């Protein structure tokens, strides 16, 4: 049975999609069977994995609304060695359309239950909001990976996310826990980055992943080629860091 993780942070531009796509590719390089679920109507993870979001026969939208089977919607021809349940702008309508459905927080969970024997990892790229879509991700997951930049405002907003996770844990999904905080876009030359990073370790202890993802231009360039950075330039520092993060996750799930 797959271990299912949300990559979540309600802030935009903090590296959620980059983390979801490159962790998926890193795990695939480590011979793990991976499904990447794009839960953001922007479809960035879909495109970043090399799948054209405007040519989808079915997407996560149809799966959530019960209009398509998850196996039909999953794409296996992306560029990272993993499968993708893709998304596009249609997904923005799902928030409203799901209101009328039974069990609306658990639509993704129920769909994933039918395929989870086929994967070791399912990674869910969440949108930048604590919305019904994110709630579907949190209800389906065993754990949350929270990417954050080591800057002055990094901790602001973290308490909202932590409170949401606590509520979901209490009411909807007792499996859910915070797996860890991932330091991303790290610039070791900045004293502030070093300070915030040290504060995070002090405060959150082993909830902070050992792997640190550096700021690396190859990671930012890769999506325009429809490739994860890990596949686009495997020897780059960013790719190496995400492969190391994949290895750290493989270790972590052994004790879960």
Query: What is the contact surface with Mg ion in residues (CB under 5 A)?
Result: 16-17, 44
Q: Is 18 in the site for ligand ADP (CB under 6 A)?
A: yes
User: Looking at 29, 216, 231, 236, which residue binds ligand ADP (CB under 6 A)?
Assistant: 216
Q: Is 184 in the site for ligand ADP (CB under 6 A)?
A: yes
CA distance 17 to 124: 9
Residue 147 pairs in a beta bridge with 182
# chain residues binding ligand ADP, by CB under 6 A: 17
Q: Is 3 in the site for ligand ADP (CB under 6 A)?
A: no
Q: Is 220 in the site for ligand ADP (CB under 6 A)?
A: yes
Q: Is 16 in the site for ligand ADP (CB under 6 A)?
A: yes
213 binds, among Mg ion, ligand ADP, none (CB under 5 to 8 A by kind): ligand ADP
Structure tokens at 2: 């797959």
Residue 6 pairs in a beta bridge with 124, 144
Residue of minimal CB distance from Mg ion?
17
The answer to whether residues 104 and 139 touch, using CB atoms and an 8 Å cutoff, is no
Work out how close the CB of 242 gets to ligand ADP at its nearest, in angstroms, rounded to a whole number. 9
Work out how close the CB of 44 gets to ligand ADP at its nearest, in angstroms, rounded to a whole number. 6
Binding mask 108-137 for ligand ADP (x = CB under 6 A): --------------------x---------
| 84 phi/psi in degrees, rounded to 5 | -135, 130
Q: Is 238 in the site for ligand ADP (CB under 6 A)?
A: yes
Work out how close the CB of 68 gets to Mg ion at its nearest, in angstroms, rounded to a whole number. 23
CA distance 126 to 124: 6
The answer to whether residues 182 and 146 touch, using CB atoms and an 8 Å cutoff, is yes
User: Looking at 36, 215, 226, 236, which residue binds ligand ADP (CB under 6 A)?
Assistant: 215
> Which 34-73 residues touch ligand ADP, going by CB under 6 A?
44
Strands 208-214, 177-186: pairing is parallel
CA distance 4 to 124: 8
CA distances from 36 to 8, 83, 101, 111, 255 (A): 14, 6, 25, 14, 22
Q: Is 26 in the site for ligand ADP (CB under 6 A)?
A: no
Q: Is 13 in the site for ligand ADP (CB under 6 A)?
A: yes
Q: Is 187 in the site for ligand ADP (CB under 6 A)?
A: no
Identify the CA nearest to 17 among candidates 69, 53, 70: 53
Residue 148 pairs in a beta bridge with 183
CA distance 112 to 208: 28
The contact set with ligand ADP (CB under 6 A) reads: 12-18, 44, 128, 184-185, 213, 215-216, 219-220, 238
């Amino acid at each position: 049975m797959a271990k299912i993780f949300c990559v979540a942070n309600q802030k935009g531009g903090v590296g959620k999609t980059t983390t979801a796509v490159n962790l998926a590719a890193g795990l695939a390089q480590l011979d793990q069977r991976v499904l990447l679920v794009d839960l953001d109507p922007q479809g960035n993870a879909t495109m970043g994995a090399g799948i054209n979001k405007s040519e989808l026969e079915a997407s996560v939208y149809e799966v959530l609304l019960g209009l398509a089977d998850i196996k039909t919607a999953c794409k296996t021809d992306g560029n990272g060695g993993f499968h993708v349940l893709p998304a596009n702008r249609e997904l923005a309508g799902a928030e409203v359309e799901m209101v009328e459905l039974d069990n609306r927080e658990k639509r993704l969970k129920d769909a994933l239950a039918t395929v989870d024997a086929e994967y070791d990892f399912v990674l869910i790229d969440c949108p930048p909001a604590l919305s019904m879509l994110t709630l579907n991700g949190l209800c389906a997951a065993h754990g949350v990976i929270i990417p954050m930049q080591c800057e002055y405002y990094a901790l602001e907003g973290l308490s909202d996310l932590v409170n949401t996770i606590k509520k979901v844990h209490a009411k909807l999904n007792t499996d859910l826990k915070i797996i860890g905080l991932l330091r991303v876009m790290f610039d070791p030359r900045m004293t502030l980055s070093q300070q915030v990073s040290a504060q995070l370790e002090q405060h959150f202890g082993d909830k902070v992943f050992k792997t640190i993802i550096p700021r690396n231009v190859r990671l930012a360039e890769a999506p325009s080629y429809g490739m994860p950075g890990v596949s686009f330039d495997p020897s780059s520092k960013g790719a190496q860091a995400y492969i190391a993060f994949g290895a750290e996750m493989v270790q972590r799930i052994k004790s879960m």
